[in-house]
Amino acid sequence: MVKLPIYMDNHATTPMDPRVLDAMMPFFTNQFGNAASRNHKFGWEAEEAVEEGRKQVAALIGADPREIVFTSGATESDNLAVKGAAWMYREKGDHIITCVTEHKAILDTCKHLEKEGFRITFLPVDGKGMVDLDDLCKAITAKTILVSIMTANNEVGVIQEIKQIGKIARERGVLFHTDAVQAAGKIPFNVNEMNVDLASLSAHKIYGPKGAGALYVRRRNPRVLLTPIIDGGGHERGMRSGTLNVTGIVGFGKAAQIAREELPRESAEMLRLREKLRTTLERELDEVYINGDLDKRLPGNLNMSFAYVEGESLLMGINDIAVSSGSACTSASLEPSYVLKALGVGEDLAHTSIRFGIGRFNTEEEVDYVANRVIDVVRRLRELSPLYEMAKEGIDLKSVHWATEA
């Protein structure tokens, strides 16, 4: 018996693993010390717990523990990486390269820097969501100080050629930052193998607590320096001041350890369930389209458009399933996803897209239920759609001139 509602929005956040909560619990009560308190047992215990968490997070991405800077989450990590590098190396150059499908934490940070006089190049992507490496090479100038390209996209799950991008940046003497929030713990990700200088991470995407994040900052070859964006106390080797979230860091560390140990098995299982969902939907429904590269994508990601079905209506029809729509409802309008638009997906299809995020705790029974529920609702909505009926009759809807009232 499937328990409702079903959670299948694991790119937005993940439920906390019970093993993570067990590790955190003592630090809510008895072991409540401040990791910066060096004069008594409570502080020593807290500092020891933080350093253990630092080792666990570092091990997940093949880093040295001294290269991990704890933050409040991925948005702060992205801001620290991009602004910190921009401000630190401003005398060297004023040019930053990123991509149009980045998370808003990168795009809005870059737009903020534009107002300070920095020049930003927003690289386009192809129809599968991939950055063209030739475009990247051509964009780099003598004034380029940073390239920031996310490892895996949060909407369509597309995995970029991070190793090659890092190699290009390294050869040109440019720092390379990647938002690895959706990738780390779900696919193999090693900062040294992939030529990464800065990497943003988040606990709540890997079954850890919200409010805990990290930034990997390379110490050697090259040594990366950052101007802090938060001052006061000089915590985290001066890069991020503020009392450390000991409980969150303990949870982050445990989540990272579990993700590293279980990655091969878990990744294979999520891919199996994802493919079962995809093939079932494609077998039972016509006019469905995969958004983004199917092969180079996160194992648990399925972003699919259902033609002639409005995304919000579909979401309402499957309100016992937690998924995301490709449309973002604002107070005044219904705008399609900027990521899908960048892929060249037309507004009609962009408005019909659903992002399924399969995670650690999803079962095969849940996948079966979701597939059958979606199929049923899509068929029902299409029965109400005159556009679907016209398309089935062979009418080219793009050539239709719709009459409007005078």
Residues near 93 by Cβ (< 8 Å), separated by ≥ 6? 141, 142, 143, 144, 145
Alpha-carbon gap, residue 115 to 111, rounded angstroms: 7
Residue 109 lies in domain: 18-259
pLDDT given at position 397: 63
Sheet holding 68-71, edge to edge: 68-71, 213-217, 198-202, 175-179, 144-148, 95-99, 119-123
Active site residues: 329
Task: Examine the domain organization and report whether 212 and 307 are in the same domain.
Answer: no
The answer to whether residue 274 sits within a structural domain is yes
Question: What is the count of structural domains for the chain?
Answer: 2
Task: Examine the domain organization and report whether 108 and 246 are in the same domain.
Answer: yes
Find the farthest-apart pair of alpha carbons in the chain and give their distance in angstroms, rounded: 81
Task: Examine the domain organization and report whether 190 and 306 are in the same domain.
Answer: no
The answer to whether residue 164 sits within a structural domain is yes
Q: What residue ranges in 74-143 does DSSP mark as E strands?
A: 95-99, 119-123
Task: Examine the domain organization and report whether 271 and 220 are in the same domain.
Answer: no
Q: State the CATH number of the domain containing residue 98.
A: 3.40.640.10
The answer to whether residue 242 sits within a structural domain is yes
The answer to whether residue 404 sits within a structural domain is no
Task: Examine the domain organization and report whether 229 and 278 are in the same domain.
Answer: no
The answer to whether residue 131 sits within a structural domain is yes
Give the tokens for residue 122. 């927003």
Task: Examine the domain organization and report whether 307 and 267 are in the same domain.
Answer: yes
H or E segment to which residue 328 belongs: strand 327-329
Task: Examine the domain organization and report whether 247 and 269 are in the same domain.
Answer: no
Residues near 16 by Cβ (< 8 Å), separated by ≥ 6? 207, 208, 209, 251
Residues near 50 by Cβ (< 8 Å), separated by ≥ 6? 35, 70, 244, 246, 249, 250
Task: Examine the domain organization and report whether 183 and 234 are in the same domain.
Answer: yes
pLDDT given at position 404: 60
pLDDT given at position 329: 41
Boundary (domain end) residue, out of 259, 282, 307: 259
Task: Examine the domain organization and report whether 83 and 33 are in the same domain.
Answer: yes
Q: State the CATH number of the domain containing residue 384.
A: 3.90.1150.10
User: Per residue of the chain (406 residues), what is the pLDDT tens digit?
Assistant: 899 999 999 999 999 999 999 999 999 999 999 998 989 999 999 999 999 999 999 999 999 999 999 999 999 999 999 999 999 999 999 999 999 999 999 999 999 999 999 999 999 999 999 999 999 999 999 999 999 999 999 999 999 999 999 999 999 999 999 999 999 999 999 999 999 999 999 999 999 999 999 999 999 999 999 999 999 988 988 789 999 999 999 999 999 999 999 999 999 999 999 999 999 999 999 999 999 999 999 999 999 999 999 888 899 999 999 999 865 443 344 678 999 999 999 988 999 999 999 999 999 999 999 999 999 999 999 998 877 877 777 777 666 666 665 4
**Are the CB atoms for 19 and 254 separated by under 8 Å?**
yes
The per-residue pLDDT for range 345-360, each reduced to its tens digit, is 998 899 999 999 999 9
pLDDT given at position 330: 38
The answer to whether residue 406 sits within a structural domain is no
Q: Please indicate, yes or no, whether the overall pTM of this predicted structure exceeds 0.75.
A: yes
H or E segment to which residue 327 belongs: strand 327-329
pLDDT given at position 59: 98
Task: Examine the domain organization and report whether 221 and 350 are in the same domain.
Answer: no
Q: What residue ranges in 233-326 does DSSP mark as E strands?
A: 288-290, 301-306, 321-322, 324-325
pLDDT given at position 315: 92
What is the Cβ-side half-sphere exposure of residue 27, based on CA atoms within 13 angstroms?
Answer: 25
Q: Which residue has the tokens 């619990």?
A: 25
Task: Examine the domain organization and report whether 303 and 201 are in the same domain.
Answer: no
pLDDT given at position 328: 47
Boundary (domain end) residue, out of 259, 294, 320: 259
Reported for 383-388, long-range contacts at CB under 8 A and 24+ positions apart, including other chains, are: 385/308, 385/309, 387/308, 388/287, 388/307, 388/308
pLDDT given at position 238: 78
Boundary (domain end) residue, out of 259, 280, 310: 259
Task: Examine the domain organization and report whether 291 and 339 are in the same domain.
Answer: yes
pLDDT given at position 236: 86
**CA pseudo-torsion sign 316, 129, 146, 107:** negative
